[in-house]
Amino acid sequence: MEIYVVKQGDTLYQIANRYGVSVDKIIMDNELTDAENLVVGQTIVILNNQTTHTVVSGDTLFKISQMYNVNLQDLVRANPQITNPFNLKIGSIVNIPQAAKREIEVNGYCFVNIDDDVLEKTLPSLTYLSIFSYEVLPDGNLVNIRNDGRLIEKARDSRVAPMMVITNIENNSTFSSELAHQILTNSVAQANLIRNVVATMEQKNYYGVDIDFEYLYPEDRVAYNNFLAAMAAAVRSLGFILTTAVAPKYSRNQQGILYEAHDYQAHGSIVDHVIIMTYEWGYTYSPPMAVAPAGEVRKVLEYAVTEIPSQKIFMGMPNYGYDWNIPFVEGTAATTISNTGAVDLARRVGSFIQYNEVQQSPYFNYWTNNQQHEVWFDDARSVEARLKFVNDFNLGGVSYWTINRYFPQNWLVLNAMFNVKKLI
């Protein structure tokens, strides 16, 4: 796999010729919507059988092996034309051998209104399909999801494990601290909730349950841990699995209603997988910035692996960006935009896409109706940068929020870097 960044004057024919692949293959792989009008700064993923590196000043074979994460001896064997490995000629081509790919688990959250075509294109790249969401009620009953049977059937037909998701969202609106408190402090309601979850999984042929309780009162931390332990005992005895979604924390005692009741150590010991929601640094009401800045994600993972077995951790991957008005005014809302939609927007408004090396994320600016905008989103480069953390921290996998919008380059990069584990 190669990631090419479009430059001024580039055509798809020139790019295809450079890498020895067909124009049609590039269009098909990347699902390009306007191949005749590339955007400067846009990424193109090239899938070919041979990765190469063009030597620049200061390169050594050792440095190149580190850059591509391949064994030095394998690199030497792949390049018999190099007679003096200690004196590489600038501009010469070094063949990069294919590294063995790790097998990881991949979760994708979806809403029941996901388009069938999007779902079917995505399922081959998933281990789990987490269907969002069953809302809990104070007495432990559930607000039923309609039409999830269709998704469960399609998932199982593709050897993807369907996961039931329960939340403390109230009235299809927002996460409710008080609703969760009522459940967590009432043993009768908890027992009823557990029975309802088990009954639903058995009735609808789910593989397991994901608990996404957010904005919990800090004082409910221990009660939440105890509830997870009770749920784990009930579902595991019947062959189901249990996962949780937690806020991205930098430390055990991080302050704030998002963080304090999410006990990484307890979750890591109780549940099968912990999905860390490593996104929303840039969010609807924040100043313009990357949704998942690589440096911030790394800091969360550095802490997380000290509390949770690394193979239980799924790193969160956002599948969206935001369009802000600038200058930013506190209290104003950004507009959500898809990653492919961001490139289309840049094309329409005539903007060049830039890349922030610190946040490892693309962005661009434009004007409309005398209002300046700033857009941050993901491309193949930012996806690759964060997926490298899976190997850096020996994580069990990744989790996407959400898969409802299809982002071709994400799945090209993911499948080029890893093999996706299937459980059924």
For residues 99-119, give the mean pLDDT: 95
C-alpha 232/C-alpha 240 separation (Å) is 9
For residues 296-315, give the mean pLDDT: 98
pLDDT confidence of residue 98: 81
Residues 164 and 125 in one domain: yes
Residues 13 and 34 in one domain: yes
Residue 223 CB contacts under 8 Å (≥ 6 apart), including other chains:
184, 185
Residue 214 annotated among the catalytic residues of the structure: yes
C-alpha 130/C-alpha 399 separation (Å) is 10
pLDDT confidence of residue 85: 84
Predicted confidence (pLDDT) at residue 115 exceeds the cutoff of 90: yes
The CATH number of the domain holding residue 398 is 3.20.20.80
For residues 100-114, give the mean pLDDT: 96
User: In the block, which residue shows the tokens 């790193």?
Assistant: 315
Average of per-residue pLDDT values in the chain? 96
Catalytic residue among 2, 214, 307, 374: 214
> Torsion-angle region of residue 210: left (phi > 0), alpha (psi -120 to 50) or beta?
beta
* Residue pLDDT, tens place only, 338-373: 999 999 999 999 999 999 999 999 999 999 999 999
For residue 88, the SS3 value is: coil
- Domain-terminating residue out of 68, 96, 124: 96
Residues 108 and 226 in one domain: yes
For residue 410, the SS3 value is: helix
Considering the chain, what percentage of its residues have pLDDT values greater than 70?
100
Residues 254 and 131 in one domain: yes
Residue 251 CB contacts under 8 Å (≥ 6 apart), including other chains:
303
Phi, psi of 299 (to 5 degrees): -65, -40
Maximal C-alpha separation, the chain: 75
Residues 269 and 202 in one domain: yes
Residues 11 and 128 in one domain: no
The CATH number of the domain holding residue 27 is 3.10.350.10
Query: Number of folded domains in the chain?
Result: 2
Residues 324 and 363 in one domain: yes
C-alpha 65/C-alpha 70 separation (Å) is 5
> Cis link prior to 402 (omega < 30° from 0)?
yes
Beta carbons of 28 and 42 less than 8 angstroms apart:
no
* Domain residue limits at 235: 102-420
Residues 77 and 154 in one domain: no
Residues 109 and 194 in one domain: yes
In angstroms, how far is CA 88 from the centroid of its own chain? 38
Query: Residue 72 corresponds to which tokens in the numbers above?
Result: 């030095």
C-alpha 253/C-alpha 275 separation (Å) is 19
* Residue pLDDT, tens place only, 385-422: 999 999 999 999 999 999 999 999 999 999 999 999 99
> Cis link prior to 327 (omega < 30° from 0)?
yes
Residues 106 and 92 in one domain: no
**Reading across the β-sheet that carries 321-326, which strands appear in turn?**
335-337, 321-326, 371-376, 361-368, 354-356
Residues 89 and 233 in one domain: no
What is the band of 123 on the pLDDT scale with cuts at 50, 70, 90? very high
* Residue pLDDT, tens place only, 170-187: 999 999 999 999 999 999
Beta bridge partners of 151: none
CB neighbours of residue 82 within 10 Å? 19
Residues 59 and 197 in one domain: no
Predicted confidence (pLDDT) at residue 193 exceeds the cutoff of 80: yes
- Domain-terminating residue out of 96, 118, 151: 96
- Domain-terminating residue out of 59, 76, 96: 96
Q: Where are the beta strands (DSSP E) in 191-341?
A: 208-212, 241-246, 273-276, 313-318, 321-326, 335-337
